[in-house]
């Protein structure tokens, strides 16, 4: 889920950077004091989640964890994911510094969307609905993250159908695994710490 | 108290994730490693977990950025091509979905392999040199011409044969070294557990800084 240096054209890089900068600033402003440790922990999870590798046919993919980030953090997912991606770029050479803006937006924007779509459902008194919402958040965040990657590549000039097909095919297993993982997280949090899922946007 | 429990819980989750990841430290990044020998460049392409990039597009650029060779990797993630000229070669791997990496072979390495392949022009040069000296001698002593010209020519052929044999032997000895270097590079480019733990440390530090500034505002 990381776009390397030198793949995207300058307008795409600058556009992604500008969008991310605005959203990160908004996320920081929205971030409540008592929410900061949660942001840090979820940022850490996102940071190491990229090391959990899933072989998927000709390419290798990894856990993304942007769904659970968004579901719990809302707009604060932007600073969380930016920090994690920066450290991944510096320490693991995943992605790159120039693509940081685009990668942050591609990962964090679906996270924020999934907050609006699934957070209320994840707090539903019915446990089945809550877990389904968790699955939805994980599945949707990876799927739309992949769609945004395809879009970034297309904006640079890659042919749409090739890029979209490749990205979709490669991410289908991750979407399912990520959905199951997020559902398990939601079930666990609902049992032990239901207030973590409370709205703070 | 609640908050302490909450952060303790979150911390346990984070540690669990690290432990899981330590057993399978893999991810999304491509690498290229290449070496030149015998007029050819062998480029190896693989993902960070060691999976070979099969059927990936590879382009080769010279020092001016012009594309001199283009193709796809085979089932072993290898791309082999003839050296087009004695210049530094930048091998760029396009593994799709935004994955890209490159490896540059220095001018010296390429030149060495290039010369090795095209030994015939250098031989011709020595031949003409031999002829020239022979001409001089012809003018001086006609009777000794045959012997004198034959002697340096055979000596020349001998050194050529010796050079070829030495090249071959050294190449054979170096093969495992190439393999070892490529393995080491592969190993070094993988993420390490210490990096992962260090990264979490950074995140905690950043958290502390943000909390400090937020608390001053409040």
Mean per-residue pLDDT, B65-70: 84
Contact A2, B28 (CB under 8 A): yes
- State in Å, rounded, how far the first CA of chain A is from the last one: 26
Residues B90 and B111 placed together within one structural domain of the fold: yes
**Cβ-Cβ contacts under 8 Å for A66 (sequence gap 6 or more):** A46, A77, A81, A107, A108, A110, A111, A141, A142, A145
Residues 99-158 of A with CB under 8 A from B: 149, 152-153
Quick: pLDDT tens for B103-138: 888 888 888 777 654 444 444 444 444 555 555 555
B167 lies in a domain? yes
**Cβ-Cβ contacts under 8 Å for B66 (sequence gap 6 or more):** none
C-alpha span between A45 and A63 (Å, rounded): 10
Q: pLDDT band for A182, please (50, 70, 90 cuts).
A: very high
Tell which of B116, B135, B163 closes a domain. B116
Which range of residues forms the domain containing residue B65? 27-116
Nearest to A23 by CA among A78, A104, A98, A81: A78
Cross-strand bridge partners of residue B72: B57
> CB-CB: which of B49, B191, B206 is closest to A92?
B191
pLDDT of residue B200: 93
Percent of chain A with pLDDT over 90: 55
CB contact under 8 A, A152 and B98: yes
Nearest to A197 by CA among A115, A88, A89: A115
B97 lies in a domain? yes
Residues B160 and B183 placed together within one structural domain of the fold: yes
**pTM over the 0.90 mark:** no
Backbone φ/ψ region at B97: left (φ over 0), alpha (ψ -120 to 50), beta: left
Neighbours of B72 (CB within 10 A): 13
Mean pLDDT of chain A: 88
How many Cβ contacts (< 8 angstroms) between chains A and B? 143
Least confident of A76-80, A129-133, B74-78, B153-157: B153-157
Any idea which residue has 């459902």 for tokens? A121
C-alpha span between B166 and B150 (Å, rounded): 24
- pLDDT at residue A155 tops 80: yes
Domain count, chain B: 2
Nearest to A1 by CA among A56, A61, A47, A48: A61
CB contact under 8 A, B29 and A37: no
**Cβ-Cβ contacts under 8 Å for B15 (sequence gap 6 or more):** none
Quick: pLDDT tens for A89-113: 998 888 889 999 999 999 999 999 9
CA distances from A85 to A3, A139, B91, B144, B198 (A): 11, 20, 27, 80, 14
- State in Å, rounded, how far the first CA of chain B is from the last one: 22
B140 lies in a domain? yes
CATH class of the domain at A10-197:
mainly alpha
- pLDDT at residue B36 tops 60: yes
Cross-strand bridge partners of residue B69: B60
Residues B174 and B129 placed together within one structural domain of the fold: yes
Q: Does B166 touch chain A (CB under 8 A)?
A: no
DSSP structural state of residue A201: -
**Residue ranges of the domains in chain A?**
10-197
Cβ burial of B152 (10 Å; 0-12, 13-18, 19+) is middle
Q: How many residues does chain B have?
A: 218
C-alpha span between B145 and B139 (Å, rounded): 9
Q: Does B12 touch chain A (CB under 8 A)?
A: no
- Cβ-Cβ contacts under 8 Å, B95 against chain A: 59
Least confident of A128-142, A175-189, B43-57, B190-204: B43-57
Quick: pLDDT tens for B144-163: 555 555 555 566 668 888 88
Mean per-residue pLDDT, B176-188: 81
3-state helix, strand, coil in chain A (%, to 5): 75, 5, 20
Nearest to B35 by CA among B179, B190, B137: B179
Mean pLDDT of chain B: 73
Residues B138 and B70 placed together within one structural domain of the fold: no
Nearest to B41 by CA among B75, B88, B100, B95: B88
Nearest chain B residue to A103 by CA: give it: B98
Minimal CA separation from B217 to chain A, in Å: 11
Mean per-residue pLDDT, B137-145: 58
């Amino acid at each position: 889920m990381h776009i390397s240096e030198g793949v995207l054209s300058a307008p795409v890089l600058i556009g992604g950077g500008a969008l991310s900068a605005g959203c990160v600033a908004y996320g920081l402003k929205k971030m409540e004091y008592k929410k900061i440790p949660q942001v840090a922990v979820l940022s850490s999870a996102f940071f190491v989640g990229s090391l959990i590798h899933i072989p998927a046919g000709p390419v290798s993919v990894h856990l993304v964890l942007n769904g659970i980030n968004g579901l719990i953090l809302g707009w604060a997912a932007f600073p969380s994911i930016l920090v994690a991606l920066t450290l991944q770029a510096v320490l693991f050479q995943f992605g790159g510094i120039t693509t940081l803006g685009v990668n942050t937006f591609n990962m964090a924007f679906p996270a924020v969307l999934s907050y609006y779509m699934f957070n209320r459902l994840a707090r539903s008194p019915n446990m089945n609905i809550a877990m389904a919402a968790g699955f939805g958040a994980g599945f949707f965040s990876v799927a739309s993250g992949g769609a945004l990657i395809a879009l970034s590549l297309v904006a640079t000039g890659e042919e749409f159908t090739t890029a979209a097909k490749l990205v979709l095919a490669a991410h289908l297993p991750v979407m399912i695994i990520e959905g199951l993982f997020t559902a398990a997280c939601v079930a666990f949090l609902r049992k032990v710490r239901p207030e973590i899922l409370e709205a703070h946007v | 108290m609640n908050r302490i429990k909450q952060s303790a819980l979150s911390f346990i989750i984070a540690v669990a994730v690290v432990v899981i990841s330590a057993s399978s430290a893999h991810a999304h990044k491509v690498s290229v490693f290449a070496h030149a020998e015998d007029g050819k460049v062998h480029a190896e392409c693989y993902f960070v977990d060691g999976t070979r990039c099969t059927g990936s597009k590879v382009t080769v650029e010279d020092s001016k950025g012009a594309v001199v060779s283009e193709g796809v990797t085979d089932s072993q993630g290898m791309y082999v091509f003839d050296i087009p000229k004695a210049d530094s070669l930048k091998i760029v791997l396009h593994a799709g979905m935004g994955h890209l990496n490159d490896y540059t072979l220095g001018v010296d390495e390429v030149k060495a392999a290039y010369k090795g392949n095209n030994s015939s022009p250098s031989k011709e040069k020595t031949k003409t040199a031999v002829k020239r000296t022979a001409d001089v001698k012809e003018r001086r002593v006609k009777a000794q011409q045959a012997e004198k010209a034959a002697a340096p020519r055979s000596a020349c052929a001998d050194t050529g044969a010796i050079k070829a044999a030495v090249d071959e032997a050294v190449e054979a000895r170096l093969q495992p070294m190439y393999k070892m270097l490529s393995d080491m590079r592969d190993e070094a480019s993988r993420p390490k557990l210490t990096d992962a733990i260090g990264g979490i440390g950074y995140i905690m530090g950043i958290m502390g800084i943000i909390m400090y500034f937020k608390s001053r505002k409040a």
